[in-house]
Amino acid sequence: MSFSDILGVSIGKLMLRSPIIIASGVWPMEPERWPSGIVDKVGAICTKGLTFSPKEGNKGIRLWETPCGLLNSIGLQNPGLESFLKNEFQMLKNCGCPLIFNLAFHREDELDLLLDKLSSSGFDGTVEINVSCPNVSGGGMAWAVDLMSLEMVLKKARAKWKGDIWVKLSPNVPDIYDSAIVAENCGADAIVVANTWLGLAIDIKKKKPVFERIFAGLSGPAILPLSLRLVWEATNVVKIPVIGCGGITDTESALGMLMAGASAIQIGTGLLRDFEVINKICGGIEGYMEENEIDSVKQLVGLAKKNHNIRG
């Protein structure tokens, strides 16, 4: 049996050699900075959140460690899609696994412009529409929080984009069901559950909030149980694949996310601590599958749900 026979999964039109995807915003976009062999088991790589015009990002402190977590307030710093296509993309397109374009926008017409620019570059693959960035004013997370806005932008995007659309949802909503259903009804090929949770840190030496924008996005192991719950809930109401994201850092959390119903998983903060985490998790999943006589990752997906239902 080859590697991809065991670990391979398909999400929409994409065939991934493993269910592990690099989440947006945490991975160097210059392949010359990657240690050798580091992406050999990676299923796909999400780009940094790209906007139409370049963005400098937020002022002040941008990262703050919390017990078991990380708060970030990067504010979508990026070179803009045009520059990315001319520079980073030229090196990334031969990196050996699919590249997913994470697109962020403030105004509705910016998403149109991003999709037009991407099509005219010849890219017709998968886009991850980021309707959930908590660290920018206007737009950002607001798209996911307001269901009518979400529906409007996703319908327009669907009419324009022929490739697959993943929608990266916000956890900062009263419940995930509504946004998951809206995304599916608007023709999304998959949903990513989810982005970071809004949090706050206080610098007691300065006696004020750590971040200029006061609130920032919490990621890392601290949010794993919350992400597992959201994935469990989302997979109760949609048929499209749900990609689990939030707090996965080792084999156990990756397996838990698959068993909660995720068809694939994204890893962000875990990579900041250990570049090797994906190789380790893939090896761990393979070992678990062998021990438990499981032939394909598909059999793991939603297994905890099935077992819970069987036992009533």
The residues that are catalytic are 133
Sign of CA dihedral 11, 22, 173, 233: positive
**Cβ distance 183 to 150 under 8 Å?**
yes
Q: ∠ CA 35-41-44 to the nearest 5 degrees?
A: 95
Q: Given candidates 216, 245, 282, 297, which one binds ligand FMN under the rule CB under 6 A? A: 245
Span of 23-31, 80-88, 208-216, 298-306 interacting with ligand FMN by CB under 6 A: 23-31
Q: Count the residues of the shown chain that bind ligand FMN, applying the rule CB under 6 A.
A: 27
Q: Given candidates 9, 16, 42, 76, which one binds ligand FMN under the rule CB under 6 A? A: 76
Q: Given candidates 19, 43, 134, 247, which one binds ligand FMN under the rule CB under 6 A? A: 247
Span of 70-78, 146-154, 200-208, 295-303 interacting with ligand FMN by CB under 6 A: 70-78
CB atoms within 10 A of CB 47: 23
Which residues contact residue 262 at a Cβ distance below 8 angstroms, ignoring those fewer than 6 apart? 19, 193, 231, 235, 242, 243, 244, 301
Span of 3-11, 12-20, 157-165, 215-223 interacting with ligand FMN by CB under 6 A: 215-223
Largest CA distance in the chain: 59
Task: Please report whether residue 219 would count as binding ligand FMN according to CB under 6 A.
Answer: yes
> Which region, left, alpha or beta, applies to residue 45 given φ > 0 means left and ψ of -120 to 50 means alpha?
beta
Q: Given candidates 102, 126, 235, 253, which one binds ligand FMN under the rule CB under 6 A? A: 102
Give the residues lining the site for ligand FMN (CB under 6 A): 23-26, 48-49, 70, 72, 74, 76, 102, 130, 133, 168, 195-196, 219-220, 223, 245-248, 267-270
